[in-house]
Every structure is written in structure tokens, then in C-alpha cells.
Amino acid sequence: MQRLIVTGGAGFIGANFVRGALDHSDAEVVVFDKLTYAGSLENLADVASHKRYHFVEGDIADREAVRQLLDTHRPTAILNFAAESHVDRSIDGPQDFIDTNIVGTFVLLEAARAYAHALSDEMRRAFRFLHVSTDEVYGSLGQEGYFVETTPYAPNSPYAASKAAADHLVRAWGETYGLPVLITNCSNNYGPFQYPEKLIPLMILNAVEAKNLPIYGDGSNVRDWLYVGDHCAGILRVLEQGRPGEKYNLGGDAERTNVEVVTTLCDLVEAERPATENPHMTSRGLTSYRDLITYVKDRPGHDQRYAIDASKMRGELGWTPQHDFASGLRDTVRWYLANETWCRAVQAGRNARSRIGLGD
């Protein structure tokens, strides 16, 4: 029986992963999460009574808590999703990014090393430490080219730098101590349960409330979008079949400028909730969600383009995304419109959608 410890499992991608792992494997899943503003048990409400699911509240940077976690639950694998994940927040306050993303990963690695050391040879060989990372570690692309696994690291934001540092630690614990580590570097995710500070849910929720849709700079920045369920399926594939010591890039082959994403969202919201029938829109005298688009001051150090070459995942592990951007985005819009209670609950008492990260 596999026993997975999923750090950050109450966040956006983690919660989607937990649901997928319970549905598509026989594994026992233990979520370890600090429940920061971005983590919520609301994200896991539907699996709370599942007999293979357990929740432990705690901080990955807390040595004693992590040691106890491993002693108690005896994992066959640790998957590290826990992170501070919002670039704008990292510009205003990088400390939490250093504490969780770098120190937290270090604490987890040390605990995993001690734990694996005490396992039988057979169990140690089967043990895995899978670190979930981002394509932002590679920096920014121009018009041409793609990130491959050997692209040199050149992080530009404090968030990306903290993730890059963590990736280096994970790699080193594999090379130096023989810990069976795996790293995944993924492009931008979208889908259910994403905290509404991020581009896609922010735009959907602002649109239905007839609030402005702020696009940074001229909106020409390109991201390669991947549906969260496809990312999670890829992580499970890497866990089961990936070669220890290797890293794997995941992306959706869906490059879009931010303007394209926002105008598409406007049209999808229109199809679900026509502007002329939305009292928030009519009271502002507006008939098209596109009229809400406003261009605002750019983020400092804003990377121009990310694009992933996922041929290693495809060729070596046979992974391909199942959702195309058009249908994935439509389903995502429908999910946010159908889950107003969740949207209210995770934003309660917070200015989730206010502008931050100007670096002034």
C-alpha cells in the first residue's frame, strides 16, 4: 500500500492532486498543510470523510512537526506542493517565500533523508521525494524557443528565485545523499479551487461583479496554460514511473497572451451570464464584459514569455494533456460561477483581488 504525504495539499494544485490520487490509485493520502491564506479545508471538503485521506495541520519549516509526521505516517513518498506561490506577494514581502520555499524544502529534505536512511534497503529503493516546481525558474523567453529540462536557471522574481533555490537543494540531496528525488517544472495552471488572486479566477469573479479587469502593462506577456487535472495526472505519472534524479517539464502547448486570456474569459462569462442580464453590469451602464478591461502599471521584472517543451514527459512517460485550452477554460468559468459559496468563503475577510506587487 502506497502512503503519500502531500505537503500543501489544501492549496489549489495540491487539493486537485489529492482528489485525483484518491480516485485513480489505492494510495493512502496524508495532507500536511499550514493553512495559510491560500490553503483551505474547503478545497478538500468532498474528500474529508474518505477512509484513505488524513489531514495534519503544520508547517514544512517546523523540524519537529515534520519528524513526527514521518514517524507517524511512514510514507512511501513525499510530494512537496507546499509553497508561497504568488509572484506579486513575493515582490512586496519575500520573507515568507524564503522561509517556506527554501528553508521549508530544506527541512523536508533533511527529515526525508533521516527517515529514508532508517528504512530497509527495499523500502529505501522504492521511496520517492517528489518536488513540485515551476517553469518560472528558467526566467523569460523571447519570441522563439522553449524551456527544456537542461535550460539554465535564470529566475527573475523573488518567488521564482525561491523555487529555483529549492530545486537546487532537491537535486543536491539526490546527488550527495542518494535520496531518490524527482522534480517537476510546470507552466501556469488553471482550473477549480485556484485562489482568486491569480489571473484567471480574478478575472472571472471581477467580471461577474462588473469590476475592472486589470491587465498588467500592454498585456502581451505570454504564458503556456495547462489544466490543473492534467498537471496532477502528470505528477502521478512521474511519481510512479519517473527516474530518480531526473526532472520533468510539463506544459499545455497553449501559449496565450494575457490579453487573449482575458478577452476569451469575457466571452465565456458572456455565454454563461449575458452582460445585459447582469444587474452589476447594467447598473454601470455596460453591455460587454470586454468594456471592463483596463491596462495598469506593469509588474516589475515581469517575464515576457514562458513556453514549455514537454517532449520528455510525452516520450519517456507517455503523458499528454487531456484538456484543450478552450474547453478547459469554459469548464473553469462554469466551475467558478457554480461555486459562489466557495468563492465567498476563501475570500472572507481578505482583499484577495486588490492590486499588490508594484515594488514601490
Give me the phi and psi of 209, to 5 degrees please.
Answer: -95, 10
Residue 36 DSSP one-character state: -
Assess whether 149 carries a catalytic annotation. Answer: no
Is 223 one of the binding residues for ligand NAD (CB under 6 A)? no
Q: How far is the CB of 264 from ligand NAD (least distance, A)?
A: 17
Q: How far is the CB of 287 from ligand NAD (least distance, A)?
A: 33
Answer yes or no: 218 catalytic. no
Q: Which residue among 159, 227, 248, 306 is the active-site one?
A: 159
> Can you read off the three cell numbers belonging to residue 9?
495539499
Q: Which is nearer to ligand NAD, 36 or 258 (CB)?
A: 36
**Is 33 a residue that touches ligand NAD (CB under 6 A)?**
yes
| Segment contacting ligand NAD by CB under 6 A, of 146-154, 187-195, 211-219, 321-329 | 187-195
Phi, psi for residue 197 in degrees, rounded to 5: -85, -20
Residue 200 corresponds to which cell in the numbers above?
A: 484567471
Residue 83 as a binder of ligand NAD (CB under 6 A): the answer is: yes
| Cβ-proximal residues to 106 (8 Å cutoff; 6+ apart), any chain | 169
Choice from 6, 186, 235, 266 touching ligand NAD (CB under 6 A): 186
The least CB distance from residue 293 to ligand NAD, in Å, is 22
Helix (H) or strand (E) holding 267: helix 258-272
Say what the alpha-carbon torsion angle 236, 74, 181, 94 is, to the nearest 10 degrees.
90
* Cα–Cα distance for residue pair 322/226, rounded to 1 Å: 10
Indicate whether 38 belongs to the interface with ligand NAD (CB under 6 A): yes
Establish if 163 lies at the interface with ligand NAD (CB under 6 A): yes
- Whole-Å CA distances, 297 to 86, 94, 358: 18, 21, 8
6, 19, 69, 85: which one contacts ligand NAD (CB under 6 A)?
Answer: 85
36 near ligand NAD, judged by CB under 6 A? yes
Whole-angstrom Cα distance, residue 245 to residue 220?
A: 36
The answer to whether the beta carbons of residues 159 and 90 sit under 8 Å apart is yes
- Considering the candidates 136, 167, 197, 270, report the single residue annotated as catalytic: 136
Burial bucket for residue 327 (CB in 10 Å: 0-12, 13-18, 19+):
exposed
Q: Which of 135, 230, 270, 303 is catalytic?
A: 135
Task: Confirm or reject binding of residue 14 to ligand NAD (CB under 6 A).
Answer: yes
Contact between 221 and ligand NAD (CB under 6 A)? no
C-alpha cell at 327: 474547453
Q: Which grid coordinates belong to 298? A: 506593469
Least distance in angstroms from the C-beta of 5 to ligand NAD: 11
How far is Cα 260 from Cα 219, in angstroms, rounded to an integer? 8
Is there binding between residue 195 and ligand NAD (CB under 6 A)? Answer: yes
Residue with smaller CB distance to ligand NAD, 55 or 127: 55
Of the candidates 19, 22, 55, 59, which one interacts with ligand NAD according to CB under 6 A? Answer: 59
Is residue 113 a contact partner of residue 173, using CB atoms and an 8 Å limit? Answer: yes
Taking a C-beta distance cutoff of 8 angstroms, is the pair 357, 299 a contact?
Answer: yes
Is position 76 an interface residue for ligand NAD (rule: CB under 6 A)? no
| CB closer to ligand NAD out of 4 and 82 | 82
Is there binding between residue 127 and ligand NAD (CB under 6 A)? no
Where do contacts with ligand NAD occur on this chain (CB under 6 A)? 7-8, 10-14, 33-36, 38-39, 59-61, 81-85, 100, 104, 132, 134, 163, 186, 188-189, 195
Active site (catalytic) residues:
135-136, 159
